[in-house]
Amino acid sequence: MMGAPRALVQRVHAGAGSVFGALLFVILLTGAWSMAHEDLRTWFRGPAALAPGPMLPLGEWLEIARRQGLALTELRIRLPDSTRSVVELCPSPKDCSLALDPATGRELDPVRAADIPFDLHKSLFLGFPGRILVSLFGVVLLLLIVAGSALHSGRLRDLKRLRRDRGPRLLAHDLHSLIGCWAGPWLLLFGLTGALSGLGALGTLGLAGQAFPGAPQQAFVQLLGAPPEVVPVAGAGQALDLDRLLDNDAAAHPGFVAQSVALHRWGEPQAWVEVAGIQPGLPSTAVFERHAYRGADGWPLGGSSASGRGFWVQAFIAVQPLHFADYRWLPQAAPLLRALHFCMALAAAMLVLSGLYLWLERRRTRAGAGWQVLLRLVVGGCGGLLVACALLLCAAALANLGLIPRQGLGGWFWGGWSASLLLACGLPPRRQPLALLLSVAGLAFLGAGVLHLGASLNPLNLAVWPIDLVLSLGGASALWAAWRLVSITRSAALADANVY
């Protein structure tokens, strides 16, 4: 009686994994990139991009904004912090493309190529509909985790068993079980926060009209807080010292980490300034943690925060920092948690790959058309994405050394992925270029890490050395995997030859 439900769960688990596995791998791998997105943008600019020295006073950034042609009426200044190394001037909350050197105010070259994997993860380049689609894959991940947990034996030996000498299929099975057991809580976190990230926004948009008929924007006012009412000060000019305002804000809110300073209606009697940032111990973002001050004299006008809100509102606000590994609200543990979050994201991608391999192995003897299509999709799509990311990073490292132009870095990503897919589609199943793709990815990752680290030594600038370490280790691991794959393939070929 218990066999039928288990068989059904097995079919659901295997079916959902085979149908959605390749795209789920793309989302998980680019999700790992997204967790270090700001650090990677610094990495792409190169170790010599920023001049040493303290940040310019905030008052000077207003003059720089004028010279850049930006209106001060509505201007946001995003400050450097532990993940963002530049100053960004934003004429609107969605337009922060102008990056400047904090010490000199010099405009820096854009690094749009670094945003390709991030945008791929966020919306698949489809805008808001793509964001909803990605969130649905969070639901798929939850379904796979729940089904996989139901199928797991629960035996303690499965928590440590990894049989390396019994063939690749058994090794993949044990690796799949190990990752599922040890990374289970993180996988649930990825799936839940990923699903809520887009579906929550869709639900908010859909229910806003129901909650506030005729004025759906009031839903966002309730969520984000209404602008303060500013009483003009007679005879006051617009000479507010923004640096002193930041100092006063830090004194009034101990531990608060300011991330941006926004000017509203600047130059008008009702001008006000907003300081946004992170409050320690509170899983929130600068969108919700804000302090308002009168523009004439810096008088406090109140603020908004996730603190004190209802449980469901706080949970909704916490989705974004938890999904993208923004643990700056836990300053002491943030580096360790970010590293663990990143490793679990890579483990999740490996979990999907091992599951796809097991599915393909079960159906390899049938050699049907569906098996061949999925094989080419896994090798060319998943392996190709690995190659594309590696080539993009290696090209950026070469561009930092002046060996290739910076223009067209994105072409390395799309070219590498397209070439991998075409190669996989053009070769028969028994000659799939997996070892070749792993070798190319390994060499490119290793080259990117070594080249960037070498350039960081003169002048000495090791601000993003963890990225160089991860790339070097990742490259070495990919080369080892390629070597092992070639060895296993040769051994299997010799065994077949001896049979005949």
Backbone torsion region of residue 466, taken as left when φ is above 0, otherwise alpha when ψ lies between -120 and 50, otherwise beta: alpha
Which amino acid is present at 455?
A
Cβ proximity of 46 and 67 under 8 Å: no
At 364 the pLDDT is: 74
For the chain, the C-alpha Rg in angstroms (whole number) is 26
pLDDT band at 462 (very low <50, low <70, confident <90, very high): confident
Residue 444 falls within a domain, yes or no?
yes
End residue of a domain, out of 67, 89, 108: 108
Which amino acid is present at 446?
L
Residues of the chain with pLDDT > 90: what percent? 54
Residue 478 falls within a domain, yes or no?
yes
User: Quick one: which of 314, 253, 266 has its CA closest to 294?
Assistant: 266
Residue 178 falls within a domain, yes or no?
no
Question: Cα(374)–Cα(360) distance, rounded to whole angstroms?
Answer: 8
Q: Find the mean pLDDT for residues 27-34.
A: 94
At 237 the pLDDT is: 56
State the maximum Cα–Cα separation within the chain, in Å, rounded to a whole number. Answer: 99
What pLDDT digit, counting tens, does each position of 250-285 carry?
999 999 999 999 999 998 888 999 999 999 999 999
End residue of a domain, out of 79, 108, 137: 108
Residue 481 falls within a domain, yes or no?
yes
- Alpha helix stretches (DSSP H) within 36-151: 37-45, 58-67, 115-123, 127-151
pLDDT at 306 over 70: yes
Question: Cα(241)–Cα(106) distance, rounded to whole angstroms?
Answer: 22
On the 0-12 / 13-18 / 19+ scale of CB atoms within 10 A, 474 is buried
Cβ proximity of 323 and 190 under 8 Å: yes
Predicted TM-score (pTM) of this structure: 0.91
Instruction: Provide the domain count of the chain.
Output: 2
What pLDDT digit, counting tens, does each position of 179-199 carry?
888 888 999 999 999 998 888
Question: Cα(332)–Cα(329) distance, rounded to whole angstroms?
Answer: 9
End residue of a domain, out of 90, 108, 126: 108
Expressed as residue numbers, the domain containing 429 is: 364-492
CA angle 67, 68, 71 (to 5 degrees): 90
Average pLDDT of the residues of the chain: 87
Residue 260 falls within a domain, yes or no?
no
Question: Cα(42)–Cα(29) distance, rounded to whole angstroms?
Answer: 20
What pLDDT digit, counting tens, does each position of 141-180 carry?
999 998 888 877 666 666 677 776 677 778 888 888 888 8
Residue 233 falls within a domain, yes or no?
no
- List residues bridging with 89 in a β-sheet: 77, 98
Residue 405 falls within a domain, yes or no?
yes
Residue 326 falls within a domain, yes or no?
no
